[in-house]
Amino acid sequence: MTPARGRFITLEGGEGSGKSTQARRLADAISAAGRDVVLTREPGGSPGAEIVREALLNGAVKPLGADAEALLFAAARADHVDQTIRPALERGAWVICDRFIDSTRVYQGALGQVDARLLRALEAVTAGDARPDLTLLLDVPTTTGLARARARAKGGPADRFEGEGASFHHKVRAAFLEIAREDGERCVVIDASQPADLVAARVKKAVLARFGEAFSASAPAAP
């Protein structure tokens, strides 16, 4: 018998919102409940996509413009979906992904002004039916997120997007919140300015509300 399709959860948000930390914690919690879980990220998540990731985040592609960035993100996503996401979903695994299509809509679309028709066409080709069942938008004030990102870098160089100015990141936050408003059925906004444990509890609460079978009955209640 063909296994039931797994669940696909994405985490989105600006720099320093804690996506990677919360993605790991959510994957651990679902795994502890006995589910097969795949934790992945974009750009990256498959061998071919990880190669493209380096070029995108080190700034090498920036001089080519937002259209070129969007095309490279699409190439990375196509490999990621084909090699990692779709096979996992088809075998019944739960996929937790740090960034996905909404980040492209924000960074290359809203900020880079890439034509929305092009982005929709690229999504159709690269993601196809591998669409998120739930998107958790980790929202944090821009100044807080940038301070966290700087602390995380420990004096090292900022990546392609972290290195943008505060005005850019204010627009990123606004664009993510607009997506959440427009697609409230898929997206849940979570205040990520709180301590990590509290954010993790709220993430669990959102997942439980959508997919109650994800956690055991003994899972701690969220505040």
Residue 217 lies in a domain: no
* DSSP 3-state of 85: helix
Measured CA to CA, the distance from residue 107 to residue 163 in angstroms comes to 13
Contacts of 204 (CB under 8 A, 6+ apart): 26, 29, 215, 219, 220, 222
User: Parallel, antiparallel, or unpaired for β 187-191 and 94-98?
Assistant: unpaired
Digit-coded pLDDT (tens) for 180-195: 999 999 999 999 999 9
pLDDT values of the chain reduced to their tens digit, one per residue, 223 residues: 567 899 999 999 999 999 999 999 999 999 999 899 999 999 999 999 999 998 888 878 888 888 998 999 999 999 999 999 999 999 999 999 999 999 999 999 999 999 999 999 999 999 999 999 999 999 999 999 888 888 887 766 655 566 677 899 999 999 999 999 999 999 999 999 999 999 999 999 999 999 986 665 444 444 4
Q: What are phi and psi of 8, to 5 degrees?
A: -125, 115
Helix (H) or strand (E) holding 191: strand 187-191
Residue 115 lies in a domain: yes
Counting the structural domains of the chain, the total is 1
Residue 134 lies in a domain: yes
Quote the pLDDT of residue 160.
Answer: 56
Quote the pLDDT of residue 212.
Answer: 84
Please give the structure tokens belonging to residue 17.
Answer: 């919102």
Residue 221 lies in a domain: no
Quote the pLDDT of residue 164.
Answer: 73
Residue 2 lies in a domain: no
Number of H helices, E strands in the chain: 9, 5
Strand order in the sheet with 134-139: 37-41, 94-98, 8-12, 134-139, 187-191
Quote the pLDDT of residue 157.
Answer: 64
Residue 153 lies in a domain: yes
DSSP-derived secondary structure letter, 136: E
Quote the pLDDT of residue 4.
Answer: 87
Measured CA to CA, the distance from residue 64 to residue 181 in angstroms comes to 32
Residue 133 lies in a domain: yes
User: What domain range includes position 84?
Assistant: 8-211
Model pTM score: 0.90
Residue 1 lies in a domain: no
Q: Find, among 70, 15, 63, the residue nearest to 43 by Cα.
A: 70
Quote the pLDDT of residue 77.
Answer: 97
Whether 165 contacts 15, CB under 8 Å: no
Quote the pLDDT of residue 148.
Answer: 86
Contacts of 165 (CB under 8 A, 6+ apart): none
CATH of the domain at 29: 3.40.50.300
Quote the pLDDT of residue 184.
Answer: 95
